[in-house]
């Protein structure tokens, strides 16, 4: 069985929510049901990263735009959301070392 990557799961969730316009609570519930075999701590990490990124995506876009050579709006959806979740981890999740995010 393939090892589950929490950040990859969140990236897929962000694509559904921020790019396809699906409701965040629906996507979150479906994902947590699908991965109910994961430890409680891992599911909590997935929830916090997804909800936090969605909640702060406009602020994250602004911060990314200040350092990126290409505006966030013009980035490919996968890259845009990968940068958003990475920026959220660095800026708002203090217990995550930067080296683990990158």
Q: Tell whether 23 is covered by a domain.
A: yes
Q: Tell whether 98 is covered by a domain.
A: no
The domain total for the chain is 1
| Domain coverage including residue 23 | 6-92
Element (H, E) at 73: none
Q: Whole-prediction pTM value? A: 0.89
Q: Tell whether 48 is covered by a domain.
A: yes
pLDDT single digits (tens) 31-71: 999 999 999 999 999 999 999 999 999 999 999 999 999 99
Q: Output the pLDDT for position 1.
A: 46
Share the mean pLDDT of the chain.
93
Residue 62 is part of a domain; what is its CATH number?
1.10.940.10
How many helices (H) and strands (E) the chain has is answered by: 6, 0
From CA 36, how far away is CA 43, in angstroms rounded? Answer: 8
């Amino acid at each position: 069985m393939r090892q589950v990557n929490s950040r990859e799961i969140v990236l897929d969730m962000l694509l559904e929510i921020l790019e396809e316009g699906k409701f965040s609570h629906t996507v979150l519930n479906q994902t947590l049901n699908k991965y109910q075999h994961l430890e409680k701590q891992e599911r909590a990490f997935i929830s916090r990263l997804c909800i936090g990124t969605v909640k702060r995506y406009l602020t994250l876009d602004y911060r990314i735009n200040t350092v990126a050579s290409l505006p966030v709006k013009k980035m490919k959806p996968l890259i845009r959301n990968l940068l958003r979740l990475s920026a959220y981890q660095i800026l708002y999740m203090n217990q995550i070392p930067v080296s683990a995010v990158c």
